[in-house]
Every structure is written in structure tokens, then in C-alpha cells.
Structure 1
Amino acid sequence: MLIDRIWYTSRHPLSYLLRPLAWIFAGLGTLRRALFRVGFKQSIRLPVPVIVVGNITAGGTGKTPLTLYLAKQLQLLGYRPGIVSRGYGGKAQQPLCVSGDSDPLICGDEPVLLARSGVPVFVFSDRAAAGQALLSACPDVDVLLCDDGLQHYRLQRDIELCVVDGERGFGNGALIPAGPLREPASRLKKLDAVIVNGQHDSISHPCLFQMSLQPGEFYSPVNAPRHAWQGLRVAAVCGIGNPLRFFNTLRTLGLVFSEHAFADHHAFVAADLPDADIILVTEKDAVKLAVLADVRIWVLPVIAELTPDLACWLGAEIARLKHR
């Protein structure tokens, strides 16, 4: 894609042409943060600890698998987490409770995937309002995870976690639209912890964690019987922020396939599916493809693994917040 070539090539000429727009974007971002800081724009503090999971680059970095990991680990620590999300691509006009079979066209694909974990999930463009609605509906929730909320300053937060794509890093280091950065890389210094998805030796932070996404077992959403795939035409289809990561994961499993990448959050229709015997997709894309009930579709789940122990660190941070 052209945008990837612009953002992840060090000296692409279009990046330089877009720099004036990036300066305007940076100025507006600085002004917006200042308005929240001085109280001109109102921010909301919720009565439970709020943990924001986000990134400073556009595109996928692995926030959703990390949010699922954190929700599970918090439950193991005895907490009752809830999740709020914008619901990117959805059409919710008010705070909306999401279930595992909700319509992704209404609430977004990632919230549906998050809701399938059994944790309460609410979506709305105003994450503070979503959090208030969640706590009203689920008063036993005692800690809130905000998926992709690092730049949503209306919701006050207690812990900020940033996920960095270890493969792509910060690209050319420029702000949108000249580069992939939503905020300057210096923003990392103000974060509580940085989680690198993959390897990236140039990133340093006092509280740095390494994340790897381990592939699980393929499954069929319609419970189709699995047979040997040798000799069959296999295709990999995805509409995620970094399709190369999905394709590379499949290659590590020894699979040979044709690649079919769509834009992030693509709304799939039957015509998008290639002529193949087996179609491999991500869990995120499977949410939107479920309506097609295509027996050729097989889903590859991924599970986040963290080193050192992020859950232990997070539990200590929450305990500190509750006793301050």
C-alpha cells in the first residue's frame, strides 16, 4: 500500500510534501492536550482505577491481544475488570453493551472479540461515558481497561500502557499524515510502561516489557471437520493494521498460501473471498466474516505472552492506587 511506503521508507518524497500538514496536526494535538490540562475541556475521573492500553502510531500493534491478556490476568489476581472501547468503524450513538454475538457493523469488530472473553464490554466514542455506563450496569467491576484510548484525554487514567510494533517501530518518525505517529515519540517518556510486540532494540524505557503473539490452534467458526490441507488451494485473508505479521506467522507454521490483504477494519462481503479451498483469517476478521458462514474459513487465534511478568507489575500498581 502507498501509505506504508510513505510511512515506513526513510526518505520517501511524499513524506516531505506532507510535512506541513503534519506540523498542523502536531499543533492541534498540543493545543488539545493543553485545553484538557488547564481544565478548559472537561475530563472525567471514574471511581475505579483506569488502565489505558494504546499506541502512538496509527495501525495495528497488538493492543487487542494485550487487552485480552490483561483482562484474564486481572481476573486471576482477583479483580473484576471491565473494558471500554471506541468501537472503531461502529455506529453506536450512545454507550452500548457488547456481547459476543453483537453486530460488528454497529459496535466494531474488536469489541465483539473482547466481549467473547466474558468480560463486560461497552463501546462509545466518548470512553468516559462508556465507562460510566459500564459501571452503572456492572457495579461489581473494580478496574477498567480502556482499549485504544491513549489519545482520549476526556477519560482520566491512572496507568498508561503503550504497545509498540517491534517490526515497524515508528517508521520514518514523522507525525500523521507524513508518518505513522499520532503523537511524538517523546510521549513514551511520560508513560507508565511500554510493551514491545516483537523485537526492537532501539526502544528504551524504565518499565519495558516484551510481548510475543503465539499462534493457537486453527478452528472453524461453523464447526467444519478438519482434514489434511495438503494439495488444497490455501488463501490467507486479513483486514488488519499490519497484514505482514499475520502472513509471517502462517509461514512459520509451514503453510503455503496466496495473500489477500485489505484495509484495516475492512467490511468484508462474499465477493472479497478468493477462489480457494481453505481460507485462513485472523480472529478479528472472523468476527465480520461470521455472517457469511463459509465452511472454507479457518481462524487462527493468537495468545499474548509477556516477559517479564507484566501482570505481577500491574497488580502491584493497582494495589498502590487503591491504598493511596
Structure 2
Amino acid sequence: MPGGHCPATAIQRPSWACRWSDWSPCSLTERWHARESRHVDPCRRTHAPRGDRASGGGGHGLPCSLLDPAGKTRCAQKQADHPAILDRHRPGADPAPVRFPEPGRSGRPSQGLYPVLAGVPAAGRPDRRCRDGRCREQFQAARSRIDPAPGRHVHRFRSTRRMNNAHEQPAPSLPRPIATIGSWVYGGVVSLRNRRFDHRQAAKVDVPVISVGNIVAGGTGKSPMVAWLVHRLCSMGFSPAVALRGYGSDSHGSSDEAMEHELVLPSIPIIVHPDRHAAISRHLAGDTNVDVVVLDDGFQHRRIHRDLDLVLVDATRPCLDDRLLPAGWLREPAGSLGRADGVIITHADAVGTEQLDHLQQRIIAITGKRPIARARHVWQGIDLHEVDGSMRREELARLDGMTVGTILGVGRPASVRIQAEHSGATVVWDVPVKDHQVYDRDLLSRIARMEPVDAVMMTRKDWVKVHALGGAAAIGRSVVVPDLAMELTSDFGLEDALQKVRQIK
């Protein structure tokens, strides 16, 4: 029987015994954590990047010490070829810096704002971000150093836990087999639900309805898109209202999203209720001025008829080939885009032309229609809230040179941190919180005890909840709130679709 050298015992043993030794509890735990954290280890082919699988390395995923001599030679060669990868994952080693190329200045145009490991060949990095049931977060600033622009200071980003926050992944605590089974069950429920609505008449209201939604869990820009639509409808002579479910509503029926809309759209009626058809009907009975309703996150709410159904797809994280929740990020299959009247690509400026064109072709293949618009997120300025209760609007240049800590209870917190870095701010620490985080005095006290910085940065969705607890005075620090807005970079039919709504009116 062919033998193999087992270093743990320094004796000759059959090769099958060496392989079974790799299934000890310690080895299994190590392999599980390596798989979950996506360690790029060229010595284990099961965890190696796909670009390297055609080259050397063992074929059975065992450590180098358990391979035959030829296998050891190939693995040693790969160690010499990929020093940055090995340094990044050697215990106690400092992680390799991560560069975030500015839009249009990347060496790889299709890469956009994806992180680039310094010193790692392109063949050693995954080309796709949605694979094997997981959509990999493109903005992994939380695990490494950030060099936001050429010549800018590279610093250590400190966090209260791993900066690749668990809440940025779907169901992070579930083992993959359980998440996969859950995805099958969830997919069956979604399929039955959609089939039922395909054969029933949706309830109508007395005014036109425009829906804004998505098919991917996490932030795609629904709130700023709703605000853009409301302003555009007002300029067209409409008197719009906004209706939303109100996720995480309190006993008074108020939610963070509703309070954010009230802050941005102070003169617009905001209707909050899980049964949006009944709530809209009641509101229209008492307010005859409203002549159009905008549904926030309404694509899955199929009980109410809509005259214009818009779906947002994030160019930096489309996930159209991903699995359904909880194994992936999809809320429903990508084929559901076919029932939308129009698809809008957001964050279109954050990726290269090649990747943007590829995404457009993918959408055309699914829906049979080209996207009706491309948009980008912009910070129009910042609101600086002082401890004494005052607030003043500042230009975005005010962030240049400022040190900030972040607390971001949104679906895509890493994208906010990246934008802060590109605006010149230095992110010193981050307090990880989940989307729709419930704020209390203990959390604010925790923020107050963090390392001194010039200001604490948070989104409007966070600020409306912090303001209710005392605002900046409760934290003892100045608070910076970016003024986020949506801008169209290309219009391929959105304006025509809105004009059709005018005809319905």
C-alpha cells in the first residue's frame, strides 16, 4: 500500500490514514473558518481562487504537509508566486493594504470600486462577486487599510469587532447547508405567492400609483430615488404622497424610514401602514389634494395595483445570479424583473463602462427591455449638528481633513465609509449596528466613550432616531449627517414613463 509521511507522528502511515487525520475536530474547525472567511490559501485547492485552480497545488484540499513531495514542490512554488496572499493570511500578519480606485481611474475599468489586494496578481482574485450562493460584499473596507486616493494617508480603521460586519451578509450565523435548505423553502414560498398574484386582480385606488423597489436585500437607493421622484412629480404639477410599510414601526406607527421622508419631504403626506391599500384609501378619503402615490419598497407588495413599477439594480452589487435568501441576497428570482415596467441602474458611476454594459445586457436578457435610466448617489453637502443643539449646512469640502467615527444603521454601511474617505475624511473607528437599528441611551453612551474624533458620522435614517434621544448632546460630540441625493446620469425612457402617468391623471 502506498504510504505518506505524517508529520504529527514522524512515522510512515498509509496515505488514507494521513487523509483521515485532516478530519480531526481541530482541523475541521480550521477548515470551516477558512471557508467562511474566504481565506485565499494557495495550499488548499478547495479554498484557492478560481483563477489558480488550473495551476499546481493539491487536488484534495489537504495541507502541504500531507501532500506528496511533488505536491509540496508545487505548493512551495505557489508560495513564492503569491507572497502577498500568504502574508495576508499568516497568523499575526498585517493585512495587505486595499486600494479603492476612483471611478474612471482604475487600472481595470470593469472593476470600479472593488477592493484590489496590493501585490496580488489579477489571476489570484475572484472575477465575479456573486458565486456559490453568496454575493461577496465589494466594499470590504472594514477588514483592511484604506488608501482612498493616490498620495492620501493610509491608516488603520479601528472597529469594535471585525469590520467585515456580520450584518453585511445574509444570515451570517447559519451554516451553508442549512442556509441552502432555507433558500429552497423560501424560493418555494415566493414562487407560490407570485403564482397566486399572477392569477388575481390587484386592488386599485383612485389615483395613479408609482412603485419603487428592488429584488436584492440591502440598500440600493430606494429612499433617495423616492425623494427624486417626488420632487420631479411636484415640478410636473402633481400633488404626491408617499406610502410605505414602515419596517420596525413603534407603537405610534412611526418608523425610521418614515421619519427620514418627513425630514426630506416636509410638505408631503407620508402614509405608514403594512396594509398600504387600506391606508391609502383612508387617506384619500380625507385628503382630496393628493393625485398620485409613490410606494417605497413596493415591488413585492403586489396586492395594490401600480401604474408604473420601477425596480432599482445596484451596479456595484447586482447579484442577479445569486441565490435566494438566506443563502444569497435575492429577495425573489432575477426573472421577476420581467414584471417591472422599468429598471433603473443605481451607482452607475462607481463601475467601469465594460461592467455597466455587461449589466445592461444581462437585464435585457431577463426583461427583454433596456434599463430606462442610470443614476448615481451624490452628497450635496453635510449637516453639522453641534452639542449645543445648533445645526448648520456645510459644503462637502468641510470633511477634508476631518477625523470621524461612524455608526451606520443602513443596508450598505461600507459604501458610506468609502464616500467619506473619498471626500477627505479619516474614518478612525466604527460602531457596527444592523440595518434599522433601534437606538437607546446605552448605545449612545457607548459612542460617547469611543476615541475622540472631530465628529460622529451617521445617515439621516440614524439621525432621526438619535435626535429623538437628545441629538448630539446625548453623545457629547458633533454629528455629521451627509445630504444624500439621487441624480440621473442617463435617461432612456423614465421621463416618458412619467408623462404617461400624467395622462392617467
Which category describes the TM-score, using the shorter chain as reference length?
A: 0.7 to 0.9
From 246, 250, 253, give the equivalent of 2:423: 253
Deviation of residue 133 (structure 1)? 2.3
Distance 1:300 1:22, change over 3 A: same
Matched residue SS, 2:313: strand
> Larger C-alpha radius of gyration, 1 or 2?
2
Distance 1:77 1:311, change over 3 A: farther
Identity %: 28
1:139 equivalenced with 2:288 (yes/no): yes
Distance in 2 of aligned mates of 1:259 and 1:275: 10
Question: Which structure is higher in RCO with an 8 Å CA cutoff and minimum separation 6?
Answer: 1
What amino acid does structure 1 have at the position aligned with 2:198?
A: R
Task: Give yes or no for contact 2:212–2:295 (8 Å, CA) kept in 1.
Answer: yes
Residues 197-225 of structure 1 show CA distances to partners (whole Å, capped at 9, x for unaligned) of 11344243424111111102111343257
Residues 27-76 of structure 1 show CA distances to partners (whole Å, capped at 9, x for unaligned) of 1112122323333xx74210111111000011111000000000000000
- What is the match of residue 211 of structure 1? 375
Counting only pairs closer than 5 Å after superposition, residues 221-260 of structure 1 correspond to structure 2 as 221=385, 222-224=389-391, 233-257=403-427, 258-260=429-431
Distance 1:133 1:194, change over 3 A: same
Task: Give yes or no for contact 1:77–1:315 (8 Å, CA) kept in 2.
Answer: no
What amino acid does structure 2 have at the position aligned with 1:263?
A: K
1:299 equivalenced with 2:299 (yes/no): no
1:162 equivalenced with 2:311 (yes/no): yes
Distance in 1 of aligned mates of 2:214 and 2:401: 41
Counting only pairs closer than 5 Å after superposition, residues 22-171 of structure 1 correspond to structure 2 as 22-39=183-200, 43-91=202-250, 106-116=253-263, 117=265, 118-170=267-319
Task: Give yes or no for contact 2:383–2:392 (8 Å, CA) kept in 1.
Answer: no
Distance 1:37 1:91, change over 3 A: farther
Distance in 2 of aligned mates of 1:46 and 1:226: 40
Distance 1:319 1:5, change over 3 A: farther
Bigger Cα displacement from structure 2, 47-56 vs 282-291: 282-291
TM-score under structure 1 normalisation? 0.85
Residues 95-124 of structure 1 show CA distances to partners (whole Å, capped at 9, x for unaligned) of xxxxxxxx7xx4111111112312111100
- What is the match of residue 276 of structure 1? 452
Deviation of residue 231 (structure 1)? 7.5
Deviation of residue 289 (structure 1)? 1.2
Residues 238-258 of structure 1 show CA distances to partners (whole Å, capped at 9, x for unaligned) of 010001110111111011113
Deviation of residue 189 (structure 1)? 2.0
Task: Give yes or no for contact 1:240–1:263 (8 Å, CA) kept in 2.
Answer: yes
- What is the match of residue 314 of structure 1? 497
Task: Give yes or no for contact 1:214–1:305 (8 Å, CA) kept in 2.
Answer: yes
- What is the match of residue 266 of structure 1? 437
Distance 1:316 1:207, change over 3 A: farther
Matched residue SS, 2:293: strand
Matched residue SS, 1:239: coil
Distance in 2 of aligned mates of 1:303 and 1:34: 36
Task: Give yes or no for contact 1:162–1:193 (8 Å, CA) kept in 2.
Answer: yes
Bigger Cα displacement from structure 2, 312-321 vs 143-152: 312-321
Task: Give yes or no for contact 1:171–1:179 (8 Å, CA) kept in 2.
Answer: no
Q: How many residue pairs end up in the alignment?
A: 305
Matched residue SS, 1:216: strand
Distance in 2 of aligned mates of 1:319 and 1:224: 39
Gaps of 5+ in 1: 93-102
Distance in 2 of aligned mates of 1:233 and 1:137: 49
Residues 171-217 of structure 1 show CA distances to partners (whole Å, capped at 9, x for unaligned) of 76101111111111111122111111113442434241111111021
Distance 1:109 1:133, change over 3 A: same
Distance 1:185 1:9, change over 3 A: closer
Deviation of residue 232 (structure 1)? 6.3
Gaps of 5+ in 2: 1-32, 39-128, 135-174, 349-355
Matched residue SS, 2:426: coil
Deviation of residue 5 (structure 1)? 7.1
Matched residue SS, 2:212: strand
Task: Give yes or no for contact 1:247–1:259 (8 Å, CA) kept in 2.
Answer: no
From 114, 124, 132, give the equivalent of 1:11: 132
Deviation of residue 23 (structure 1)? 1.7
RMSD after superposition: 2.7
Distance 1:287 1:225, change over 3 A: closer
Distance in 1 of aligned mates of 2:289 and 2:401: 52
Task: Give yes or no for contact 2:218–2:411 (8 Å, CA) kept in 1.
Answer: yes
TM-score under structure 2 normalisation? 0.56
